[in-house]
Amino acid sequence: MDLRQLKYFIAVAEERSFSRAALRLHVSQPPLSTQLKALEDELGVRLLDRTNRGVSLTAAGQVFFDEMRAVLARLERGKEMARNAGRGDVGTLSIGFVSIADYGILPPALKEFRSLYPGVEVHLHELTTDAQVREIRAARLDLGIGLGPLDAPDLHFEAVAQEQLMLAAPTGHRLSRGDKAVDLKTLANESFIIPPRDIAPGLFDLIIGECRAAGFAPRITQQARQMQTVISLVACGMGFALVPASVQNLRRQGVQYRPLQGAAAAIELGILRPRDDDDPVSRNFVETLLRVAQTANGPTG
138 and 187 part of one domain:
no
121 and 212 part of one domain:
no
Q: Which of 24-38, 84-98, 229-243, 281-295 has the lowest mean pLDDT?
A: 84-98
* 153 belongs to a structural domain: no
* 152 belongs to a structural domain: no
78 and 104 part of one domain:
no
Domains in the chain, number? 3
* 68 belongs to a structural domain: yes
106 and 173 part of one domain:
no
* 209 belongs to a structural domain: yes
Percent of the chain beyond pLDDT 90?
52
How many whole angstroms separate alpha carbon 201 and alpha carbon 97? 16
Name the burial class of residue 207, with classes exposed (0-12), middle (13-18) and buried (19+) by CB atoms within 10 angstroms of its CB.
Answer: buried
238 and 284 part of one domain:
no
- Residue 285 near residue 158 (C-beta atoms within 8 A): no
- Residue 156 near residue 273 (C-beta atoms within 8 A): yes
Last residue of a domain, one of 40, 68, 87: 87
How many whole angstroms separate alpha carbon 260 and alpha carbon 164? 9
Last residue of a domain, one of 65, 87, 109: 87
Which CATH number covers residue 37? 1.10.10.10
* 94 belongs to a structural domain: yes
pLDDT digits (tens, 9 = 90+) for 245-295: 889 888 889 999 999 998 778 889 999 999 888 889 999 999 999 999 887
pLDDT digits (tens, 9 = 90+) for 162-174: 889 999 999 988 7
284 and 213 part of one domain:
no
DSSP state of 44: T
* 137 belongs to a structural domain: yes
64 and 25 part of one domain:
yes
Structural domain of 109: 90-143+276-297
How many whole angstroms separate alpha carbon 143 and alpha carbon 136? 6
pLDDT-derived band at 230 (thresholds 50, 70, 90) equals very high
- Residue 214 near residue 184 (C-beta atoms within 8 A): yes
112 and 206 part of one domain:
no
In this prediction, residue 84 carries a pLDDT of 67
Percent of the chain beyond pLDDT 70?
97
How many whole angstroms separate alpha carbon 193 and alpha carbon 164? 17
pLDDT digits (tens, 9 = 90+) for 28-86: 988 898 999 999 899 999 999 888 777 899 999 899 999 988 888 888 887 777 776 77
- Residue 143 near residue 277 (C-beta atoms within 8 A): yes
Q: How many CB atoms lie within 10 A of CB 261?
A: 14
- Residue 234 near residue 167 (C-beta atoms within 8 A): no
Give how far Cα 112 sits from Cα of 125, 150, 158, Å.
19, 27, 20
In this prediction, residue 104 carries a pLDDT of 85
Which CATH number covers residue 112? 3.40.190.10
164 and 255 part of one domain:
yes
How many whole angstroms separate alpha carbon 243 and alpha carbon 194? 9
Give how far Cα 12 sits from Cα of 55, 200, 201, 256, Å.
8, 68, 70, 77
* 79 belongs to a structural domain: yes
Q: How many CB atoms lie within 10 A of CB 90?
A: 19
* 155 belongs to a structural domain: no
- Report the first-to-last Cα separation within the chain, whole angstroms: 59
96 and 129 part of one domain:
yes
More confident residue, 54 or 10: 10
Mean predicted lDDT score pLDDT of the chain? 89
Name the burial class of residue 133, with classes exposed (0-12), middle (13-18) and buried (19+) by CB atoms within 10 angstroms of its CB.
Answer: buried
How many whole angstroms separate alpha carbon 176 and alpha carbon 240? 10
280 and 255 part of one domain:
no
How many whole angstroms separate alpha carbon 147 and alpha carbon 160? 10
